[in-house]
Amino acid sequence: MNLRLLGALALALPLAACSVVGAIIPGGDDGTNPGDCTITKDQTFTADPSHDEALRLHVESCRMDVDACMSLCTLVLTRQNIDASAQTCKARFDGDVATLQIQYSMPNPDSPCAFEGDAGGVPAPR
């Protein structure tokens, strides 16, 4: 079940040599089920590689090859300290800046599920 928040929450996390800003896309509030082991989030991030050569390489690779965009989205999630894998990654470009719409799943902190690091993140009932 998707976690949707009403309104927009702007995240502006300072990152060394990188400008990445995320905002939760507002949507219908269908609520969360505390029994769901994972929640899915959609976020939009802006990646400005002006002063970051590693980010620039990922942005340009994504611009040239859509298959390379998942790597860019993974980098953005990592730099935002979001411990999740991107499920979908859509990129738009305006000059050097990339706007990324990323959907990812993560453990639901309100669920009764236990997430075992040894089991590769497979949820197990408590």
- Residue 113 is predicted with a pLDDT of 79
- Alpha helices (H) along 1-126: 53-64, 69-79
Residue 27 has pLDDT above 50, yes or no: no
DSSP 3-state of 110:
coil
- The more confidently predicted of residues 112 and 49 is 49
Contact by Cβ (8 Å): 126, 113: yes
Residue 5 has pLDDT above 60, yes or no: no
Q: Give dist(CA 33, CA 114) in Å, integer.
A: 16
How sure is the predictor about 25, in pLDDT bands with cuts at 50, 70 and 90? very low
Summarised one tens digit per residue, pLDDT across range 50-66 is: 999 999 999 999 999 99
Neighbours of 97 (CB within 10 A): 14
**This model's pTM is above 0.85:** no
Rounded to the nearest 10°, the torsion over CA 47, 52, 58, 59 is 40
- Radius of gyration of the CA atoms of the chain, in A: 16
Summarised one tens digit per residue, pLDDT across range 58-100 is: 999 999 999 999 999 999 999 999 989 899 999 999 999 999 9
**Helix or strand (DSSP H, E) at 45:** strand 38-48
How sure is the predictor about 11, in pLDDT bands with cuts at 50, 70 and 90? very low
The residues near 81 (Cβ < 8 Å, ≥ 6 apart) are: 13
Q: Give dist(CA 78, CA 59) in Å, integer.
A: 15
Residue 24 has pLDDT above 70, yes or no: no
